Amino acid sequence: MKALLTIVFLLTCLYSSTSVSAQSKFALVIGNKNYSPQVGALVNPHSDAKLISDALSEIGFKVVTVHDGDRTVMLREVSKLAASLAGAEKDAVGFLYYSGHGVSRPGERTNYLIPIDVRNMDDPDIWWKAVRLDDVMDELRRSAPDASHFLVFDACRTELRVSTRGANKSFAPIARHNGVFIATSTSPDYTATDSPSQTSGPYARALALELRKPGQDHVNLFQNVKAEVYASTDNPKQVGWETSGLVHRIYLNSAAASPRANPILGPQVGPASPPTPLNSLNRRTPANAAAGSFGTVDDLSVKNQMAPPANTMAPAKSPPNAQQSSSGDNSPNISGNSGTINFNSGGQGRK
């Protein structure tokens, strides 16, 4: 009887889980570093982006990496990511990582990413020049409602220059959205250091390390990231934050994918035609609201690669208490399986 129950349990697990192929895993990684002095230049976003791009490529994601993206580039690449997910299987996984400046708008409590072409944070048109987080999420969910979306914002740096009447240099709490897992490198209403004395930021280092570990679901992965960042920062401690609208646990790096297959190289592609912009940009929200070619554009060349490890979804369990945890390149600026798009211009503390 015990053996029969074991067989039934294993069959149930088999049919209730979903295998995600390498072709269904797409990522966009953005590192904005070279801001104007009036905004506040950063040291590590390009290094952060490389760490995450390499890690995602190694576990089978098809990755685009953008260095110093202006508003048009950032929105265009989000639209391409959404289109790639829309054209994939319904259990596709999307991963967006952003390293750079981020702010919230006083009064509205809405959050924005700061493109590299914002020249002054006191510009009265700043909210029409920034990229609104809700628009990014809306585009991804509208285009690929059946996909699982991971949005990771390694932002809100203390180095941002803002006036007392301008933007808040920290994020407001972000509302939960179905099908979307959101992680930030620091808690709402707090800031994170750029760690200029290090070669990369603490959150990027921890995330890249955990992404490479096979066999852990996304809940444990991000809990481990939170614990590692907390342990590696001091005066004050930096505590990450997450909110999840996912029903199942996602295994970004399946344990079955230990022997890595040789990557598949994609074609090099020239400049793409201008994309259709996101809908309803810079829309006001209530005060309490919290694809195309992949590759590198330095000389506007693109290189795609994929590796086939599978992901597995299993029924969700209650996540752990978050408070318990205290290359050889073949073309310019391409590493691992990811391409890099370059558009170069030229501890947790309370906000």
Q: Cα(244)–Cα(253) distance, rounded to whole angstroms?
A: 19
Burial of 22 (0-12, 13-18, 19+ CB in 10 A): buried
Dump pLDDT digits (tens) for 179-212.
999 999 887 767 776 566 577 899 999 999 999 9
* 200 in Cβ contact with 44 (< 8 Å): yes
* Beta-sheet pairing, 148-154 with 93-99: parallel
> pLDDT, tens digit, for every residue of 228-279?
999 988 877 888 889 999 999 999 997 554 333 333 333 333 333 444 444 4
Residue-wise pLDDT for 115-163, tens only, equals 999 999 888 898 999 999 999 999 999 999 999 999 999 987 766 777 6
Of 136, 115, 24, 65, whose CA–CA distance to 304 is shortest?
65
Residue 27 contacts residue 80 (beta carbons within 8 Å)? no
Cα–Cα distance measured from residue 246 to residue 243, given in angstroms and rounded to the nearest whole number? 9
- DSSP letter string, 271-314: PPPPPPPPTTTT----TT------S-TTTT----EE----EEEE
Q: Quick one: pLDDT at residue 279?
A: 42
Residue 172 has pLDDT above 60, yes or no: yes
Structure tokens at 59: 């576990």
Confidence of residue 91 (pLDDT cuts 50, 70, 90): confident
Q: How confident is the model at residue 171 (pLDDT cuts 50, 70, 90)?
A: confident
Q: How far apart are CA 157 and CA 191, in angstroms?
A: 6
Q: What is the pLDDT of residue 47?
A: 95
CATH number of 21-350: 3.40.50.1460
Q: Are 175 and 289 in contact (CB under 8 A)?
A: yes
- Which residue from 184, 183, 27, 12 is spatially nearest to 92, judged by alpha carbons? 27
Amino acid at 341: I
The pLDDT tens digits for 319-331 are 333 333 333 333 3
> Cα–Cα distance between 140 and 147 in angstroms, integer?
9
pLDDT tens for residues 9-58? 444 444 334 445 555 999 999 999 999 999 988 999 999 999 999 999 99
| Distance, CA of 309 to CA of 252 (rounded, Å) | 9
Q: Which two tokens stand for residue 123?
A: 């510009």
pLDDT for 189 equals 66
